[in-house]
């Protein structure tokens, strides 16, 4: 057999057979290599897939974490009612709500107002009025706005009274407040300089000098560049800067709408009310008083806080006070004129009324002056009765508003 095999090995057929064997073995080796390469590729692919999936999971986890942090901040804000009832009747859109933002600092439980910003609602640009807290409130016995929360001793809650004080000072309706217990906005605010006070008290001509123009006045260049309200926006949504006490009478949808107004693409217009709109006088008890000059304040806000829909209607309005409260007609005269209404007459009413009444000349006035009527209802918190063609006296205006609360 060995001889036969050796002979066969030398033949053509045996050579062909060996080639065939080599090819078959080579193909087996190649197949093994391909199989091993395929396994390696599938292994690497599975690793990549796992990495991608873990990346997705990590992204989702981070997104959920950020969302949870925001929700935590949002739901831990102290929401409380400004009005006696939990949900007051609202006859305006969320965009039209006027909000005042206070920042306060506490020293030994004594609360100081550091800044007052009124954000006037509207669908166009954000209108921001910054008010010096050193103004005195004539409506509340000349209490300084800065120390109002400590000195006020009336029956209504102090924040309600403070809102009324700011509203009457500006002649602008206030709907909601946002109170932040921090001094984050006070960095660029000019503090009272005691040496400056002494110079003012000892030299009457000192007030006429040019550099006293900056006394208790906002640095407008810094204000425009570093809006404190933009900082407030960041404060509310940035965990690292969130201060422990934020109180507001807004409901949650109103707060979201308020914050959404301060987008990057939205224009923000400013008015700053300080010493230029004040009558400065020396007081023995308070050293120096900043009494509001209403004429100059109204001139400063002319065309800034108006409602274009109200302006377009050009309604002529008479306002009368039928209550025992002094100054109501004057207060609402300023407020309604500032939004663009044409007040032709105001004063005391001829007789007592049990409630506030808006008199219209006819049914057509409901359509003709619908925006003016809506604005009046907003100012009076919807606590008003509308009468058509029942006004008993002669009138010169299209509408007659009789006030009694």
Task: Lay out the sheet containing 385-388: strands in order across.
Answer: 342-348, 316-321, 399-403, 357-360, 385-388
CATH level 2 (architecture), domain 308-403: 2-Layer Sandwich (3.30)
Q: What is the pLDDT of residue 288?
A: 74
Query: Per mean pLDDT, which range of 106-120, 163-177, 220-234 is the poorest?
Result: 220-234
Contacts of 141 (CB under 8 A, 6+ apart): none
Model pLDDT, residue 207: 42
Read off the pLDDT of residues 318-329 as tens digits, 9 standing for 90 and up.
999 998 888 899
Average pLDDT over residues 79-90: 52
Q: Using pLDDT thresholds of 50, 70 and 90, give the confidence band for residue 22.
A: low
Domain ranges of the chain: 2-75, 78-301, 308-403
Q: Which of 11-20, 120-129, 288-297 has the lowest mean pLDDT?
A: 11-20
Question: Which CATH number describes the domain made up of 78-301?
Answer: 3.30.420.590
Of the candidates 268, 228, 261, 273, which has an alpha carbon nearest to the alpha carbon of residue 129?
273
Q: Which residue has the higher pLDDT, 27 or 61?
A: 61
Q: In this predicted structure, what is the pLDDT of residue 73? A: 59
pLDDT band, residue 29 (cuts 50/70/90): very low
Across residues 342-358, what is the average pLDDT?
Answer: 88
Q: Report percent pLDDT > 90 for the chain.
A: 26
> Which position has the higher pLDDT, 322 or 197?
322
pLDDT of the residue at 343: 95
Alpha carbon distance 275, 396 (integer Å): 38
Look at residue 45 in the predicted model and tell me its pLDDT: 64
Cα separation of 348 and 151, whole Å?
Answer: 31
Half-sphere exposure of residue 141: CA atoms within 13 angstroms, side-chain side: 7
pLDDT of residue 184: 44
Give yes or no for residue 182 having a pLDDT over 70. no
- Region 121-132 average pLDDT: 81
> What integer is the mean pLDDT of 245-274?
77
Query: Does pLDDT of 336 surpass 60?
Result: yes
Highest mean pLDDT among 13-27, 33-47, 142-156, 219-233: 142-156
Average pLDDT of the chain is 73
What is residue 173's predicted lDDT score, i.e. its pLDDT? 92
What are 295-325's pLDDT values in tens digits?
A: 999 999 998 998 889 999 999 999 999 988 8
* Contacts of 339 by beta carbon, 8 Å cutoff, 6+ apart: 173, 305, 306, 307, 310, 375
pTM score of the predicted model? 0.68
Domains 78-301 and 308-403 share a fold: no
Confidence of residue 366 (pLDDT cuts 50, 70, 90): very high
pLDDT of residue 253 exceeding 70: yes
Q: Kindly compute the dihedral angle of the four CA atoms of residues 276, 191, 106, 237, in this order, to the nearest 10 degrees.
A: 80
Residue 293 has pLDDT above 60, yes or no: yes
70 pLDDT tier (thresholds 50, 70, 90): low
What is the pLDDT, as a whole number, of residue 382? 84
Report yes or no: 243 and 184 within 8 Å, Cβ to Cβ: yes
């Amino acid at each position: 057999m060995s001889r036969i095999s050796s002979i066969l090995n030398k033949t053509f057929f045996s050579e062909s057979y060996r080639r065939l064997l080599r090819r078959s073995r080579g193909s087996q080796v190649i197949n093994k290599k391909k199989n091993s390469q395929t396994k390696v590729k599938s292994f690497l692919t599975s690793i990549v897939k796992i990495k991608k999936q873990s990346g997705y999971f990590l992204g989702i986890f981070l997104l959920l974490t950020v969302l949870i942090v925001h929700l935590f901040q949002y739901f831990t804000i102290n929401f409380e009612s400004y009005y006696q009832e939990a949900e007051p009747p609202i006859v305006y859109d969320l965009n039209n709500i006027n909000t005042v933002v206070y920042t306060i600092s506490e020293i030994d439980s004594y609360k100081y107002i550091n800044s007052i910003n009124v954000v006037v609602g509207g669908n166009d640009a954000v209108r921001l009025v910054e008010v010096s807290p050193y103004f005195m409130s004539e409506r509340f016995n000349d209490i300084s706005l800065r120390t109002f929360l400590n000195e006020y001793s009336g029956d209504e809650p102090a924040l309600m009274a403070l809102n009324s004080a700011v509203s009457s000072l500006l002649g602008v309706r206030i709907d909601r407040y946002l109170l932040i217990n921090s001094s984050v906005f006070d960095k660029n605010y000019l503090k009272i300089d005691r040496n400056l006070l002494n110079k003012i008290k000892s030299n009457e001509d000192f007030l006429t000098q040019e550099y006293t123009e900056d006394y208790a006045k906002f640095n407008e260049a810094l204000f425009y560049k570093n809006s404190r309200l933009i900082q407030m926006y960041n404060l509310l949504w940035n965990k690292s800067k969130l201060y422990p006490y934020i109180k507001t009478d807004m409901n949650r949808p109103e707060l979201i709408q308020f914050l959404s107004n301060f987008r990057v693409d939205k224009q923000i217009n400013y008015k700053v009310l300080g010493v230029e709109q004040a009558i400065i006088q020396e007081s023995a008890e308070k050293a120096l008083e900043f009494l509001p000059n209403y004429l100059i304040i109204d001139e400063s806000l002319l065309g800034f806080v108006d409602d274009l829909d109200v302006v377009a209607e050009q309604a002529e309005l008479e306002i009368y006070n039928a209550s025992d409260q002094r100054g109501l007609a004057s207060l609402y005269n300023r407020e309604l004129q500032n939004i663009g209404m044409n007040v032709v007459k105001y004063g005391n009413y001829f007789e007592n009324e049990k409630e506030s009444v808006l008199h219209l000349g006819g049914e057509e006035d409901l359509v003709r002056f619908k925006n003016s009527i809506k604005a009046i209802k907003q100012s009076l918190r919807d606590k008003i009765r509308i009468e058509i063609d029942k006004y008993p006296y002669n009138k010169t205006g299209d509408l007659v508003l009789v006030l009694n609360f």
